A and B are shown apart, each in its own frame.
Chain A
Amino acid sequence: MELDFDVIELDEPDHPEVGETAPDFERPLVTDEYWEDTTLSALTETGPVALVFHPMNGAFPATYIWNELRDRGFDEYDIHVVGLSISTPYEHKNLLRERELTETEIRLFSDPANEIAEQYGIVNDLDGMAGITEPRPATFVIDTDRTIQYAWAATEHPEFPDYDEFEAAVEEIQ
């Protein structure tokens, strides 16, 4: 179908695939009340993890992604649901409030230097924002051995997660 706007194709993502070990990392993990340096492996030790990379807070994809995950009740699954963007902990606290996630267990990693997206092979260089890169939207379901059970990353910009597929993977891992 011919559209009168441009969807930008991104380079092929180079993220870890299903069956591979999710790279461990440590970043401030933000709740509604505080933030604390936390490792991915500390989370997987206590349960499977749904990891959601998203554009910086305030960009409409961040808003839509969290509205959708909230409305689908992702928090009700017995799994750690965590986001990650380049936004600061202060901005993450605002997102949790604005997206009405404060009553949930959903938490957000803050990675302003974008090193985790680098590690996961899903960097999106932003045209027109000098010096800023961020993760492209990407979703991973990671089990308690830190093995990836589901992986998806955007191949165009903008592109949204396949929520049905993501949710099915979350359901399956419980």
Chain B
Amino acid sequence: MSNPQITIYRLQACPFCERAVRKLQEYDLSYTSRFVEPLHSQRNVVKRESGVRTVPVIIDEATGVTMAESANIVEYLDRTYGEQASEPHTEATATVAEERS
């Protein structure tokens, strides 16, 4: 996978965020960390980017996917960058569209 542009919004010491980060590391994906604050009210940037105030949220420039919820993120990363990844981009985009509906 050639230099994916992934941004992850995360909270320090948040186990859900660590789970997503571990998965990024597992697939050797390069990512940028943006740390936000514990108070949801101070997470306007996450809300603007993703529609929710929870973290983690990842933004994958390579596929155009923005995704919240660590379980979804892990599944997305497995599907897109894991060994079974096949035609990942189309599939991933379709999934996100579904989740947003």
Contacts and interface: CB of A to CB of B under 8 A. Distances in A.
Nearest to A36: B34
Interface string A76-103: 0000000000000110010000000000
B27 interface: no
A33 B35 contact: no
Contact of B33 (A33, A37, A90, A93): A37
Given A90-B37, A93-B37, A33 B44 contact: yes
Interface string B24-68: 000000001111110000111100000000000000000000000
Chain B: number of interface residues, binned into ranges? 10 to 19
Contacts of B42: 33, 93
A36 B32 contact: yes
A45 B6 CA distance: 21
Nearest to A93: B37
Interface string A33-72: 1111100000000000000000000000000000000000
B45 A28 contact: no
B88 to A, nearest CB: 26
A93 B39 CA distance: 13
B41 to A, nearest CB: 12
Interface residues of A, number: 9
B76 interface: no
A14 B43 CA distance: 41
A90 B9 CA distance: 16
B36 A33 contact: yes
Contacts of B44: 33
A36 B35 contact: yes
Interface string B64-83: 00000000000000000000
Interface string A11-43: 000000000000000001000011111000000
B36 A34 contact: yes
23 contacts: A28-B35, A33-B36, A33-B42, A33-B43, A33-B44, A33-B45, A34-B9, A34-B34, A34-B35, A34-B36, A34-B45, A35-B34, A35-B35, A36-B32, A36-B33, A36-B34, A36-B35, A37-B32, A37-B33, A89-B35, A90-B37, A93-B37, A93-B42
Q: Which 6 A-B pairs have the closest CB atoms?
A: A33-B45, A34-B34, A36-B34, A34-B36, A35-B35, A34-B45
Given A34-B9, A35-B34, A89-B35, 8 more contacts: A33-B36, A33-B42, A33-B43, A34-B35, A34-B45, A36-B35, A90-B37, A93-B37
